[in-house]
Each structure stands twice: as structure tokens, then as C-alpha cells.
């Protein structure tokens, strides 16, 4: 959050405090809170362990989001094209700008130019585990398998994110650095 002093507007007061122009509302507050939580974890327990904590949250979010989309679409399982559409749609709803760059039977390649955490993600790569776990969980719970490779991320200073979601085990998925997800059903 910007530490510069707030501008005091010449307007009526609320509860004795003049109405001030402070760039603070729920979205900014929550993104800042999450940034500080991730940063504290990264600083105290290290990046890998922080990613582990975020992984648990991401798994739970992935399960909930998967269930919501299945119910809304009235399907027992999503198809690979539906997995791609759901991933793009959920990111759009939370102010990400994900798009499918490429898709085949083995993988979906996503690119993203705007992180849902906005500037708050910079320097907090542990937060990328939210994307990894949500995408991986949705793929695994619908297709039996998912592996997520975070090739480029805004969090680590790239201008965009490039995320590969492998839909089945293959030579390419085996050599890719990433996290594997398998169905729990």
C-alpha cells in the first residue's frame, strides 16, 4: 500500500474523521493481506514450505471451484475443452487475463497478462501455487491426471504468465518441471 499521506478532502466528516482520499477498499485490502501472508511465510519458512501451505489452500479452492462448475454445467465430469474453458472463465471472474494459447490431447498452454493478485504478486511466487493447484485439481478430478508447469510468472518478474497443464503422462510431462495431480475419486 502506498505510504504517502492521504489527501484530506474539504468535505463533511464521518464520526469526527474528515473524509480522506485513501486508496483502500476490500479488494486492495485482501490482496495486500494475502501478499503479506505469503511474504511472511516465504521469509520465515522458505519458499518451498510457503508453496506447500498455499498448495493446501489451492487444493481446497480447486475442489470447491470444480464442484461449482460441474453443478452449473450439470455434468459429472468436465471434458478437456471444458477444463480449458473453466480455467479461463474462473480467472476472468477474479480479474486475471488468461487465454488458451495452444491445446492438444496432451496439454493446454495458457498465457496470462494480468494476475488476479495484480501488483501484489510481484516477489511472491508462492502465490502461483493457487493457479497450479486449482488448474491441477480441476484437471485431475475430471480427467484423472494433471501436471502444471509454471514456465513464466509475473510473480518472478516476467511480463506474463505461461502455464502448461498436462492432461496425461507423456515424455513431455515427465521432463517438465512442475507439480503432478491425480484424482482422489
Average pLDDT over residues 109-122: 95
Return all residues near 11 (Cβ < 8 A) that are at least 6 apart.
18, 19
CB 109 within 8 A of CB 122: no
Structure confidence at residue 7 (pLDDT) = 55
Structure confidence at residue 146 (pLDDT) = 97
Structure confidence at residue 19 (pLDDT) = 80
For residue 98, what are the β-bridge partners? 112
In the chain, what are the domain boundaries?
20-182
Residue 159 has pLDDT above 80, yes or no: yes
Give percent of the chain above pLDDT 70.
91
Residue with cell 520465515: 44
Average pLDDT over residues 87-113: 97
CB 82 within 8 A of CB 107: no
Structure confidence at residue 1 (pLDDT) = 55
Structure confidence at residue 14 (pLDDT) = 60
Model pTM score: 0.84
Tell me the pLDDT tens digit for each residue of 9-58. 555 566 777 888 888 888 889 989 999 999 999 999 998 898 888 889 98
Return all residues near 87 (Cβ < 8 A) that are at least 6 apart.
98, 108, 110, 134, 135, 138, 165
**Mean pLDDT score across all residues of the chain:** 91
Measured CA to CA, the distance from residue 185 to residue 182 in angstroms comes to: 9
Structure confidence at residue 167 (pLDDT) = 98
More confident residue, 154 or 11: 154
| The three cell numbers locating residue 51 | 508453496
Measured CA to CA, the distance from residue 160 to residue 158 in angstroms comes to: 5
| The three cell numbers locating residue 129 | 501455487
More confident residue, 114 or 28: 114
Out of 3.20.20.300, 3.50.50.60, 3.30.1380.20, 3.30.565.10, which CATH number does the structure's domain 20-182 have? 3.30.1380.20
Nearest to 54 by CA among 38, 33, 36: 38
Structure confidence at residue 149 (pLDDT) = 98
Confidence bin at 5 (pLDDT 50/70/90) = low
| The three cell numbers locating residue 180 | 503432478
Residue with cell 487475463: 97
Q: Phi and psi for 129 in degrees, rounded to 5? A: -65, -20
Q: Phi and psi for 94 in degrees, rounded to 5? A: -110, 20
Amino acid at each position: 500500500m502506498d505510504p504517502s499521506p492521504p489527501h484530506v478532502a474539504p468535505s463533511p466528516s464521518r464520526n469526527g474523521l474528515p473524509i480522506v482520499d485513501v486508496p483502500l477498499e476490500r479488494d486492495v485490502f485482501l490482496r495486500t493481506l494475502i501478499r503479506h501472508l505469503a511474504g511472511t511465510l516465504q521469509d520465515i519458512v522458505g519458499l518451498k514450505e510457503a508453496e506447500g501451505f498455499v498448495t493446501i489452500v489451492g487444493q481446497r479452492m480447486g475442489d470447491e471451484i470444480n464442484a461449482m462448475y460441474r453443478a452449473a454445467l450439470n455434468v459429472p465430469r468436465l471434458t478437456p475443452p471444458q477444463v480449458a474453458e473453466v480455467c479461463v472463465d474462473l480467472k476472468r471472474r477474479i480479474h486475471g487475463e488468461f487465454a488458451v494459447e495452444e491445446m492438444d490431447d496432451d496439454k493446454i498452454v495458457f498465457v496470462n497478462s494480468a494476475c488476479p493478485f495484480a501488483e501484489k504478486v510481484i516477489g511472491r511466487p508462492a502465490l502461483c501455487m493457487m493457479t497450479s493447484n486449482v488448474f491441477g485439481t480441476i484437471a485431475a478430478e475430471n480427467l484423472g491426471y494433471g501436471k502444471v508447469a509454471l514456465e513464466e510468472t509475473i510473480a518472478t518478474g516476467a511480463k506474463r504468465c505461461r502455464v502448461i497443464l498436462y492432461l496425461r503422462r507423456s515424455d513431455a510431462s515427465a521432463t517438465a518441471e512442475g507439480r503432478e495431480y491425480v484424482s482422489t475419486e
